[in-house]
Structure 1
Amino acid sequence: MSGGLGPIVVILFVVGLLALVTRWAFGPGYGRTAAPAAPAGDGLLVLVATVTAPQTARALRAVLSDAGIRSTQRSPAPHRTDVLVFPDDAARARMLAASFSG
Structure 2
Amino acid sequence: MGPMLVIIVVLAGLALVMRWAFGSGYGRSPRAPEPADAGLLVRVATVSAPETARALRAVLSDAGIRSTQRTPAQHRTDVLVFPDDADRARALAASFPG
- Global fold match (TM > 0.5): yes
**CA RMSD between the two structures:** 1.1
User: How far apart in 1 are the matches of 2:36 and 2:81?
Assistant: 17
User: How far apart in 2 are the matches of 1:40 and 1:100?
Assistant: 25
Aligned residues: 64
The corresponding residue for 1:15 is none
User: How far apart in 2 are the matches of 1:65 and 1:40?
Assistant: 24
What do residues 62-90 of structure 1 show as CA deviations (whole Å, max 9, x unaligned)? 00000000000000000000000000000
What do residues 16-62 of structure 1 show as CA deviations (whole Å, max 9, x unaligned)? xxxxxxxxxxxxxxxxxxxxxxx851100000000000000000000
TM-score, normalised via structure 1 length: 0.61
User: How far apart in 1 are the matches of 2:55 and 2:63?
Assistant: 13
User: How far apart in 2 are the matches of 1:40 and 1:97?
Assistant: 21
Instruction: Mark the runs of 5 or more structure 1 residues left unpaired by the alignment.
Output: 1-38
Instruction: Mark the runs of 5 or more structure 2 residues left unpaired by the alignment.
Output: 1-34
| Runs of 4+ in structure 1 over 3 Å off | none
TM-score, normalised via structure 2 length: 0.63
